[in-house]
């Protein structure tokens, strides 16, 4: 039977350069273990792809009888195939930029950070900015965030801005403070904090909206650099099996860049974009907010702009998450509410009027409660019975609010690796009692809260297999702690896969076109080196993406 068609073994497919033209308009994957994420037909052997969409699926013999001569046949040899992974919360431009700026992820001390800056200074002209990201004081030998003096001494001629891994705090040097006009007399901006020493002088640490005082004086990236950054981000995403990203917080400029890439046929990827509400939240002027209706399915369903990103509070790692009671390890501080309730309600009402979803960053229990109050009020006033509003992160919640979230049908857009990154110090921040409602995925499932998973890259690694592993084990890559951190909150493998595929599609109103391998949907697929649904959990971390398809087009092949 196979002789009637162009047969390609998976080995040849992975290691030989093939163009889309060589595949033709149709292909079929056979003799695999294909996880469809369709509850009525969860596993099949073969899938037939025609004109970019799923045309048929079933047993190999059955599918081969359906296809026409000339169809390319891919022999999977028992390999696992899953729907293309969906990251429900990432930052595409930031990811691309992080690939060219200084990366401080994994640094073990402030000395290591300053040493890297000193090296960077050697390659910079006087006055040029040094930009970096990724430091986390919780990984340092001494987790005290130091004064800028040491950083300033080795970079006196260059302004420096080093963003914390969570994107909610930054370290800057004296040159940057001077350019921004930040002194001991500068007032903290609403929703932000300039950390000061005992004399009242800025230490160089800026929290949340205070970061904008410095970022606003950094020269804007040019269009070409942004386009390159977006393309680099896409290349990285498809290499780890992502076929869609929900881009959390973009401006009109980035939307236009996406359109340009799509129009020029240089964008084999899908983005569900959330418009940043930051400027409106600061001005509270609704007259110029969301004038345009949502953009849905631009290109071949490559770009949808249907959500509004609001930031309610800061992050737990930098103690900016808004808590109802002070931090256990900082009793004078309960975090920052960046957007107040009245503004959230205005945004939610306006979004519903214009047909937009609202996706609000909320980490602390006070922030999550405030968001639910705003959402509930907006829902009561609206005729929209399927708003699919979301809480981004939904990290620390009261049990009663998780129940309320389920009743309101609010989606939890979580990042499983946040739990395994934070578990070393989260109890210090929150105390044992508050942890019972933190990273509480099993409780969410029990309360009928739909979970869409992601990574928050570049805060965390973009690889969805790392997130899948974290979701089902709640362990780090060394297998700690034994049995998992608060193991009763784990997801099953089936739940985890769904959270990275179909439920991610649902969170973007796109479950009818992707997220599962079903007839009529786009053929967004990933071929894996190991079966993540059956191998021992530790082997998931060694699983490779062999091939990624977007709309039936091979956009990534391992070894190329």
pLDDT, position 145: 82
CA 538 to chain centre: 23
Residue-wise pLDDT for 428-443, tens only, equals: 999 999 999 999 999 9
- Name which of 64, 45, 78 is nearest 3 in CA terms: 64
Q: Is the pLDDT of residue 20 over 80?
A: no
pLDDT, position 459: 93
- Name which of 260, 291, 421 is nearest 356 in CA terms: 291
Q: Is the pLDDT of residue 138 over 60?
A: yes
Q: How far apart are CA 461 and CA 177, in angstroms?
A: 30
Q: Is the pLDDT of residue 191 over 70?
A: yes
Percent of the chain at pLDDT > 70 equals: 94
Q: What pTM value is reported for the model?
A: 0.90
Whether the link from the prior residue into 507 is cis, omega within 30° of 0, is no
- Under DSSP, the state recorded for 313 is B
Structure confidence at residue 288 as a pLDDT band (50, 70, 90): low
Looking at the domain 95-215, which fold is it?
Diaminopimelate Epimerase; Chain A, domain 1 (3.10.310)
The predicted model gives 344-366 an average pLDDT of 97
Residue-wise pLDDT for 36-71, tens only, equals: 999 999 999 999 999 999 999 999 999 999 988 889
pLDDT, position 8: 53
3-state secondary structure of 504: helix
pLDDT, position 100: 82
Residue-wise pLDDT for 380-436, tens only, equals: 999 999 999 999 999 999 999 999 999 999 999 999 999 999 999 999 999 999 999
pLDDT, position 240: 99
| Candidates 3.10.450.40, 1.20.120.430, 3.30.750.200, 2.30.40.10; CATH matching 1-83+515-560 | 2.30.40.10
Structure confidence at residue 466 as a pLDDT band (50, 70, 90): very high
Same CATH topology for 1-83+515-560 and 95-215? no
Structure confidence at residue 141 as a pLDDT band (50, 70, 90): confident
Residue 391 bridge partners (DSSP): 360, 412
Question: What is the full DSSP assignment across 383-449?
Answer: --S----EEEE--B--HHHHHHHHHHT-EEEE-HHHHHHHTTTHHHHH-HHHHTTBS-HHHHHHTT-
The predicted model gives 516-533 an average pLDDT of 99
The predicted model gives 161-165 an average pLDDT of 93
pLDDT, position 391: 99
Q: How far apart are CA 365 and CA 325, in angstroms?
A: 9
Residue 132 bridge partners (DSSP): 102, 162
The overall longest dimension of the chain from CA atoms, in Å, is 82
Residue 438 bridge partners (DSSP): 396
Residue 327 bridge partners (DSSP): 330
Q: What are 531's two structure tokens?
A: 């079966």
pLDDT, position 231: 97
- Under DSSP, the state recorded for 265 is T
Q: Is the pLDDT of residue 9 over 80?
A: no
Domain ranges in the chain are 1-83+515-560, 95-215
The predicted model gives 210-230 an average pLDDT of 94
- Name which of 336, 398, 354 is nearest 373 in CA terms: 398
The predicted model gives 344-359 an average pLDDT of 96
């Amino acid at each position: 039977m196979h002789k009637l068609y162009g047969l390609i073994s998976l080995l040849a497919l992975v290691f030989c350069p093939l163009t889309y033209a060589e595949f033709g308009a149709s292909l079929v994957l056979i003799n695999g273990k294909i996880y469809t994420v369709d509850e009525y037909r969860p596993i099949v052997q073969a899938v037939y792809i025609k004109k970019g969409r799923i045309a048929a699926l079933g047993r190999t013999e059955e599918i081969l009888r359906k296809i026409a001569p000339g169809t390319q046949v891919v022999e999977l040899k028992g390999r696992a195939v899953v729907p293309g992974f969906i990251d429900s919360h990432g930052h595409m431009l930031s990811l691309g930029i992080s690939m060219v700026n200084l990366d401080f992820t994994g640094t073990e001390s402030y000395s290591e950070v300053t040493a890297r800056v000193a090296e960077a200074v050697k390659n910079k002209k006087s006055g040029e900015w040094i930009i970096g990201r990724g430091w986390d004081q919780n990984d340092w030998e001494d987790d005290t965030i130091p004064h800028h003096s040491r950083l300033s001494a080795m970079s006196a001629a260059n302004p420096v801005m080093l963003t914390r891994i969570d994107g909610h705090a930054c370290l800057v040097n004296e040159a940057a403070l001077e350019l921004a006009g930040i002194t001991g007399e500068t007032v903290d901006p609403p929703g932000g904090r300039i950390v000061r020493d005992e004399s009242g002088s800025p230490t160089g640490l800026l929290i949340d909206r205070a970061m904008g005082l410095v970022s606003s004086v950094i020269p804007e990236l040019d269009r070409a650099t942004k386009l390159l950054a977006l393309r680099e981000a896409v290349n990285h995403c498809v290499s780890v099996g992502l076929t869609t990203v929900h881009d959390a917080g973009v401006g009109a400029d980035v939307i236009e860049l996406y359109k340009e890439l799509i129009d020029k046929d240089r964008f084999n990827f899908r983005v569900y974009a959330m418009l940043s509400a930051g400027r409106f939240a600061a001005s509270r002027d609704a007259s110029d907010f969301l004038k345009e209706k949502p953009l849905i399915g631009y290109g071949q369903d490559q770009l949808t702009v249907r959500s509004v990103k609001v930031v309610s509070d800061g992050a737990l790692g930098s103690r900016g998450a808004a808590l109802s009671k002070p931090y256990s390890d900082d009793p004078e501080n309960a975090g920052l509410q960046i957007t107040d309730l009245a503004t959230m309600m205005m945004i939610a009402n306006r979004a519903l009027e214009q047909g937009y979803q609202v996706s609000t960053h909320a980490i602390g229990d006070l922030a999550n409660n405030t968001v639910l109050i705003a959402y509930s009020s907006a829902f009561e006033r609206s005729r929209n019975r399927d708003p699919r509003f979301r809480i981004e992160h939904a990290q620390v919640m009261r049990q009663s609010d998780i129940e309320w979230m389920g009743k309101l049908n609010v989606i939890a857009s979580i990042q499983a690796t946040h739990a395994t990154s934070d578990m070393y110090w989260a109890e210090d921040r929150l105390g044992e009692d508050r942890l019972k409602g933190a990273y509480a995925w099993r409780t969410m499932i029990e309360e009928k809260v739909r979970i869409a998973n992601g990574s928050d890259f570049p805060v965390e690694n973009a690889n969805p297999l790392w997130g899948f592993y974290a979701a089902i084990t709640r362990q780090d890559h060394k297998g700690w702690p034994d049995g998992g951190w608060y193991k009763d909150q784990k997801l099953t493998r089936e739940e985890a896969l769904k959270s990275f595929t179909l439920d991610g599609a649902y969170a973007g109103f796109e479950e009818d076109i992707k997220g599962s391998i079903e007839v009529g949907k786009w053929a967004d697929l990933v071929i894996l080196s190991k079966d993540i649904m059956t191998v021992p959990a530790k082997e998931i971390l060694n699983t490779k993406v062999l091939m990624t398809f977007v709309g039936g087009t091979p956009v990534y092949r391992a070894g190329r």
